[in-house]
Structure 1
Amino acid sequence: MTIFDILSPIDVPSIVQSFFDLGRAVNYDGHTMPLLSIQVTELKDGIFIGCSMNHCIGDGTSYWLFFNTWSEIFQARGNNISITRPPIHKRWFPDGVNPIINLSFPHQDEFISRFEAPKLRARMFHFSSESLKAKANAESNTNKISSFQSLSAFVWRCVTRVRRLPCDQIINCNLAANNRPRMEPSSPNDYFGNSLHALRGVTTAGELLEHNLGWAAWKLREAVANHTDQVVRDWVDTWLQFNMYGNEFGMGKAVALRSGYANKFDGKVSSYPGYEGGGSIDLEVCLLPDSMSALESDEEFMDAVSLPHQLH
């Protein structure tokens, strides 16, 4: 198998899931399985490095901090190893919160569920320009909507349209937010652990499609702006920026990013910075086959998609 065999198909080949060691594990399996696994798959013209990390260790920010640091140590070749961003391992807990939580369950089956993803299509879509940002801000008469908020709103509207949902059905657009810069005082960017939160834009399918891109993007912008230190702390009480292509391990710069089996569900969208930089973004979109086919036939959506650099 070659790099082209992985990157050229329209859908992400299912064999990519076998390149990750702990694809179907859940956090609780860390009692008996590794908390971190690196699987290196040799291709005819390159390698695929599959990294699997138990979420009890850290979140996506911590994941990429580990990957970047590992690459930095390798590139030093044992000479004057100096880590640019040393991870901060001291755990943070709000004042008055006891980090030890006892679960009153006699057996793990009472609180552990194992998700089995339905048959999905996963496809990468490349977006190279910021035209969506300009359009969303113009339609909302503002300059506060970010590129990512605009793109998220765009995908939200397009996927909702091709799903042909009832007008009165309530729908969500969930975004994973890094809590570190939102805390007061702010947590260090190199805090190694879990510090993330799910933000949510909520409306009905009919209302989302009746309004324009700017309206949808503003709803997501409001969700981000309203996510403050107090919101994070209240959430805890209720309970009781990365370099992805610069990593190098002796065979040159990575040409693409792909994910494994974990967290795949209908409507899941994962975003990665585009290979060429400049604000470009690669989105891995997972949909049921009929919805994906409809999305591929949606002119507004496909007009915004561009050819990724690695396939030029």
Structure 2
Amino acid sequence: MAGVVLISSSIVRPINNSQSGRTKIHLTPFDLSLLQFDYPQRGLLFPKPDSDFHFISRLKASLSVALEIYFPFAGHLAKVENQEDNTVSFYIDCDGPGARFHHAEAKSVSVSDLLQPQGSVPDFIRHFFPADNFKSCDVSAPLLALQVTDMKDGVFISFCYNHLVADGTSMWSFLHTWSKICSSGSGSDHKPLVLKRWFLDGIDYPIHIPVSETEKPPSPSSELSSVPITKDKVFHFTKKNISDLKAKANNEVSSNDLKISSLQAVSAHMWRSIIRHSGLSREVETFCKVAVDLRQRLNPPLEKECFGNMTYLSPAIATVEELLDRGLGWTAMQISKLVSSQTNENCKGFAEDWVRNVKNLKSGVKSKMAGDTIIVSSSPRFEVYNNDFGWGKPIAVRAGPGNSISGKLVLFPGIDEGSIDVQATLWSDVLVNLLADVEFLENVTSV
């Protein structure tokens, strides 16, 4: 376990724990489609504070204040059994128990052990994160769990959260607020939380879901033995790398209606390169699933900073042959068309169809074996490096275990302005081949 020792585990509650009467948060089809997802896990690496800073007590005290503002994170997932039709319903009960806080030590682990050359991610990093196979449907799990690991010459602050209650936009907003409270010692100047307060017309809530679709699947230990080993690696795209990819992609297409963004160009480069080494037949369909923020795509639009989960994971589809033969521009255009298609009407259609046909909530080993899917999560637009708890800004960011299929890409802003880091989870053989791919590497810079 790389010498990671759990010192204490406690529950941190809002500073004013009288939450009675606060809003019950009903869950939308976009939320409920994530019932079988693992908790997303992210972590920030910091320099070590001075010994007289007493950072653990300060972190816990400021967390209590932050949870008073972001009160849904201190709640819990409630499940209601509907006897009349053998279904269940879920909602977020905001009068909840609080967030879980782990304090751990890894006195023999240094910053250089964690930040290995060429972006390699050590296997032991999983012990720096707080979750143990939490899924969104777990009513017994906290909605938010955090772990602070005191290292030899650094501190790693990590978190995981239930995707039903929040998305990356809301989670990083919470973290930024918490860090400001910790560094300033006050939370009095923060605005009240704005909940999304949104539900589609014509869809009643709470939504009824068949019991069989909400049961947590057993751990398929025997099947998992046949799943290839995955490895994580961070690929760094400099501002120039990104500019070159974006220019190449836009030069290869002639559309006047859609322009390919930097994010779409990088995602297309990763999609083509990974699939090229996945051993799939040319006629096989592949998928690039992109998490799209729906807040400003609805009619009327929601507040940009409203709290909740407002992401929709939707796939761009192309055969292996199309990806490899039609080039970067064509591939990026498929992603661009996908993103632009997420309109109010599209969202309404998805939600109505989901309620009529609740299915495919469970994810199994077969999907992990296919190797035909790229999942683009998180965003380089999140202000990852602007979180100072009072002793300095982060020096690196990492994603933790969870939803770890080959092809999972977690995107962060790079520490250099205008750059992007992609933490990729890939089968070991795919990664080996990718690192020998000249076409791929000419647009990537080692970290």
CA distance in structure 2 between the partners assigned to 1:232 and 1:115 by the alignment: 33
Give CA deviations for 1:202-235 in whole Å, capped at 9, x if unaligned.
Answer: 1110121011111111111111111111111111
| Aligned pair partner of 2:126 in 10, 14, 17 | 17
In structure 1, what is the Cα distance between the partners aligned to 2:126 and 2:434?
23
Which residue of structure 2 aligns with residue 216 of structure 1? 331
Which residue number in structure 2 is paired with residue 8 of structure 1? Answer: 116
In the alignment, does 2:176 pair up with 1:68? yes
Contact 1:46 1:251 in 2 (8 A): no
Q: In the alignment, which residue of structure 1 is the partner of 2:395? A: 255
Deviations 1:150-197 (A, max 9, x none): 111111111111123211111111111001111111111111111111
- Corresponding residue number in structure 2 for 1:122: 232
Q: Does 2:383 correspond to 1:243?
A: yes
Identity %: 35
Structure 2 residue corresponding to 1:81, chosen from 167, 185, 188: 188
| Residue 59 of structure 1, CA deviation | 1.2
1:86–1:190 contact (8 Å) kept in structure 2: no
* SS of match in other structure, 1:100: coil
Q: Does 1:286 align with 2:286?
A: no
CA distance in 1, matches of 2:301, 2:423: 31
User: Structure 1 residue 236: deviation in Å?
Assistant: 1.3
Cα distance in 2 for residues equivalent to 1:115 and 1:287: 21
CA distance, structure 1, for counterparts of residue 266 and residue 304 of structure 2: 25
Q: Distance in 2 between matches of 1:49 and 1:2?
A: 14
Give the drift of 1:288: 0.6
Q: C-alpha separation between the residues in 2 aligned to 1:268 and 1:125?
A: 13
Q: Distance in 1 between matches of 2:235 and 2:121?
A: 11
How many angstroms apart in 1 are the aligned matches of 2:218 and 2:300?
A: 37
Contact 2:166 2:308 in 1 (8 A): yes
Distance in 2 separating the partners of 1:206 and 1:86? 51
Partner Cα separation in structure 2 for residue 267 and residue 246 of structure 1:
28
Report SS of the residue matched to 2:336. helix
Q: Which amino acid aligns with 2:303?
A: P
Structure 1, 2-11 or 199-208: larger mean CA deviation: 2-11
Is residue 2:199 matched to residue 1:93? yes
2:171 counterpart of 1:58: no
Rounded to whole Å, the distance in 2 between the matches of 1:104 and 1:47 is 44
- Structure-2 separation of matches of 1:90 and 1:229: 15
**1:195 pairs with 2:310:** yes
Higher helix share: 1
RMSD between superposed Cα atoms in Å = 1.9
Structure 2 stretches of 5 or more lacking a match? 1-108, 356-380
**Separation in structure 1 between the aligned mates of residue 135 and residue 121 of structure 2, nearest angstrom:** 23
Distance 2:317 2:280 in 1: 15
Unmatched runs of 5 consecutive residues or more in structure 1: none
TM-score by length of 1: 0.91
Higher relative contact order (CA 8 A, sep 6+): 1
Report if aligned partners of 1:74, 1:249 keep a CA contact under 8 Å in 2. yes
Query: Compared with structure 1, are the counterparts of its residues 113 and 60 closer, same or farther at alpha carbon in structure 2 (3 Å cutoff)?
Result: farther
The SS at the match of 2:399 is: coil
Counterpart check, 1:102 vs 2:212: no
SS at match of 1:181: coil
Q: Distance in 2 between matches of 1:211 and 1:47?
A: 46
Residue 247 of structure 2 is matched in structure 1 by 134
Larger radius of gyration: 2
Return the alpha-carbon distance in structure 2 between the equivalents of residues 86 and 101 of structure 1: 28
Q: Does 1:112 align with 2:251?
A: no
Asked if 1 retains the 8 angstrom alpha-carbon contact of 2:172 and 2:384, the reply is yes
Q: 1:153 to 1:104 in 2, by over 3 A?
A: closer
Tell me whether 94-103 or 267-276 shows the greater mean CA deviation.
94-103
Shift of 1:237: 1.2
Amino acid paired to 1:33: A
- The residue matched to 1:188 in structure 2 has which SS? coil
For the 8 Å contact 1:169–1:204, the answer to whether it is kept is yes
- CA gap of 1:43–1:300, structure 2 versus 1, over 3 A, is same
Whether the 8 Å contact between 1:26 and 1:114 is mirrored in structure 2 is: no
Q: Which runs of 4+ in 1 moved over 6 A?
A: none
